Structure 1
Amino acid sequence: MNTDAVRGHLDGMLLAVLEQGPLHGYGIIEALHQRSGGALDLPTGTVYPALRRLERAGWIDGVWSVVGGRKRRTYTLSRAGRRELAARRSEWIRFSGVVGSVLGGTT
């Protein structure tokens, strides 16, 4: 699946992945890949800028740590991020229902 197909939904998916607990950037990419059954194979150039945007918005918190001699930034979902995730889920349910009605092929 190309990155254009997830445009507008990436932030919500990142928040959803972090709902399970703290992850570093690569772990987030792997979780998206696994949870999508391999359909999402997003490049770091798509995910890392989105993580920085979510952090600036106050929806996630990031802390630096050293793991195996490498610096990594680990992200967690903030309280504001949990509220935003709930709003995005509600929006997705409405949106997917409308698109399903239109593309479903029934009249």
Structure 2
Amino acid sequence: MDTAVGRPPCNLREHREQQKHIREHRDLQEALRQTTSDLEETVDLAGLLYETNQRIGTVIDYLLKGRGTVPTGESESFEIVLDRDLNQLEGTEGDRTGGTKSPTPAGDVTMTENPVSTGD
């Protein structure tokens, strides 16, 4: 009997298997710590991106109001940018399927705001 633990001595195979399980357990704990850390960083980054998006939206609204593009009190910057992105996405999908790009109902934001722009 193993006097230190109070059980019979294990054979070498059992001992190696136990050590293997202990290493796997430690590796899984470390992977969990790393994943948790990555998740926390991702949440922090998402919060930062959200705050930045809010600030950019405010600046865009201010600039559009200065040009008289947005009626007072209403925020249309999101819709304008979203329409532009969706139109670009539809154009990209049309290129992949061999179709043609549909005309933009709201027009390109740069062309709407600055008709002299060459679109470059």
Using structure 2 for the length normalisation, give the TM-score.
Answer: 0.27
Q: Which has the larger radius of gyration?
A: 2
Using structure 1 for the length normalisation, give the TM-score.
Answer: 0.29
- Of structures 1 and 2, the one with the larger relative CO (CA 8 A, separation 6+) is 1
